[in-house]
Amino acid sequence: MPARPEGPDSGKNPSLPAEGPGSRLDASSPNKIVTVLSVSGSDADHLALGHLFRHTKWTLMESRSCHDAAEVLRKHPVPVIICERSLPDGDWKDVLRESSGQPHPPLLIVACRLADDCLWTDVMNCGGYDVLEKPFNQGELVRVVSLAWLAWKDQWQRAGERGINAAGE
């Protein structure tokens, strides 16, 4: 990945790396701290995401199970969840079900080593947002999380315009 300029005069959002050679993410990308919940029983997943998030302004919260994720969500609503396909006490569908009960449900991204069309279709049909293949690619991770956050933000801004209390903005 090409080096990105840093500092207030760089003209780029220093929290987001370039999308590809010579390109930049557009100005609608999240330029504030975005909180993401990582749900995985794997320490390696949490370490990898922590390493990748270190290059952003984003905050990463971690949980190791469906039960832990439910506890985190009760105390700290988040706009985006990255959830391992299988967890020690359930799977991504359990986390999606739990998160859908939130006042402003987060968008759920499923992470797995073997991302295929069948899983993607299942995620979409169940109300998830997307699928990320592991090992995580920084550009793809940033792109998918950015788009999920923007979709979540837009959803609640539109809800606010219709008279429903919008959160997060």
Give the CA distances from residue 25 to residues 8, 145, 147, 151, in Å, rounded to whole numbers and listed in that order: 17, 12, 10, 15
Say what the pLDDT of residue 55 is.
Answer: 83
Whether residue 106 contacts residue 81, with contact meaning beta carbons closer than 8 Å, is answered with: yes
Say what the pLDDT of residue 6 is.
Answer: 34
CATH number of 35-161: 3.40.50.2300
Best CA proximity match to 84, nearest among 106, 101, 69: 69
Q: What's the whole-number average pLDDT of the chain?
A: 82
Give dist(CA 144, CA 29) in Å, integer: 11
Segment among 14-28, 74-88, 110-124 with least mean pLDDT: 14-28
Segment among 11-25, 53-67, 86-100 with least mean pLDDT: 11-25
Q: Taking the domains of the chain in order of start, what are their residue ranges? A: 35-161
Higher-confidence residue: 72 or 18? 72
Give dist(CA 19, CA 31) in Å, integer: 15
pLDDT in tens, 70-96: 999 999 999 999 999 999 999 999 999
Whether residue 119 contacts residue 91, with contact meaning beta carbons closer than 8 Å, is answered with: no
